[in-house]
Structure 1
Amino acid sequence: MIYTSIITVVANVSLIFRPEVIRLGETLSLICTVAGVDTLNGGLIRQWTKGPELICYNGHPINPNKYTELLKNGNQFELQINNVTESDLRCKYQCRYSFDTQTKGIEISKHNFEYLPPNDTKALMQTNESDGSITIHLHLKKVYPMPNCTVAIEGLRIPFDIVKHHRHDIYYEVYMVYQANNSINCNDNLEVTCQLIDNHPIPVDKEVMCQVKDELMTYTIIWICLSICLSLAVATFLLFCKLRNVHGNEEVHL
């Protein structure tokens, strides 16, 4: 996906920024529009800078893996910033055509930038052994903007509680929990979703919860079996004692 910001080169020109959603790892595109001409003159200078750093001159990027310049139809030329990283944001870019220049800062906000959680992020379900209640833990190590996360149980969507969060430069680190009752089973289809600008599903790890439940079930079965065996042993012992007493009484009468 390519996000576009318009830079217009003309005297007394205004800059227009389109609030497209920017994500790390994707491509950001800056388009320079030259007013007053129908087509670009290949003999004039085209130049892109990032702050004081020259990054592209007449279609030749300093780092071809990072930057690509494209000539658009008519009076536009475009700079593509590939594999966007944190260092590409919150800085000023300048395009130049002949002697005309224009500068635009790439600023981020909750309306135009998403820092997606790492791919290995999972919601972890755990069982409280004392009362059988279920807790779902969610740790988002890097995320922006502040997420609104929910869990869907039997069609009902319930929000997580934010336990704590920290701001680190352009992202948040967030800890969330959802405290449920013991009506959730291992086979239940739970859906965890976090809303940033768009909605993003988060996988649910039930392994710990199901393992604990399996262990509890095993212990319960063992306890029931032991109780039955003990009851049978006690009943057998009492029956033996009763029969022995009856036999003893018969011998006394004889």
Structure 2
Amino acid sequence: MRITRVLGAALLTLGLAAWPAAADSTPAPSASDDGSAPTSAGTSFRTAAEFEQGRQATAGASTGDYLYWSFPADAGQRPTVKATVKLPDAHAAQTWQLDVYDGLRRRQACQYGAQTRTAAQGATSVDLACTLRTVRAWSETWADDPLPGTYYIRLTAVNLATADLGLPVSTEVRVDSKDVGGSAAVDGSLAKPLVPGIAVTSNSEDSDEDSSSSAVLSSIEPDDGWSSGWWSDRWVWTAVGGVLAALAGVGGYALTRGSGRPSRLPPGA
């Protein structure tokens, strides 16, 4: 009975501790399209159209244009960028490319996804996708790991024929993230997320200047703010491991200890 109680307490502790970790590892619910997403794209990094994850941005453009959007990504997220380009009826084969840059304007590699695709002549649309590596809370200065902050999307057609320049197209872009959790946690965090203009804003706040004089080039941040990755479910599993180790020690002692009485020898031994 005592062993059963020990095992039952261990399983209950494991289940209660694993519940928040399992909840954190599920993808965050996507926000519904409520008209707040942009309906046009920028033409450079500085004019990139901002939108939040879970919303779909649209834009009309012409082949040959460079289209830019930006979105926030926090530590522990693994963003997936998807783009759809609706092509005109009459066109030659076109190659479209989707690039993603971080707040330092470093081009980020895609773990998987069709980042570049060629639409055959007469095709009505082309779909592109790029799943980034998990955003880290901290990294070495020489590394190009994804870090919390603003990310830029650039969509354009490459190696266009002269006859296809200027043809009208319509585009749709969407970003969704999966929360990876403690498996991607690191010991460290950035002082500030990589958001354009945040250094100017910080200096303005430190000097108690009027907020209207600060230059903020990106105003969107995650709904719950920048976490910088100080908490992760790795803390939960560490605590669970300690509890299970203690319970295993108690159970092992209960199984192996004797009755406390010396064994009796048979008569005449």
- TM bucket, shorter chain: 0.3 to 0.5
- TM-score, normalised on structure 2? 0.31
Q: Which has the larger radius of gyration?
A: 1
More strand as a share of residues: 1
- TM-score, normalised on structure 1? 0.32
More helix as a share of residues: 2
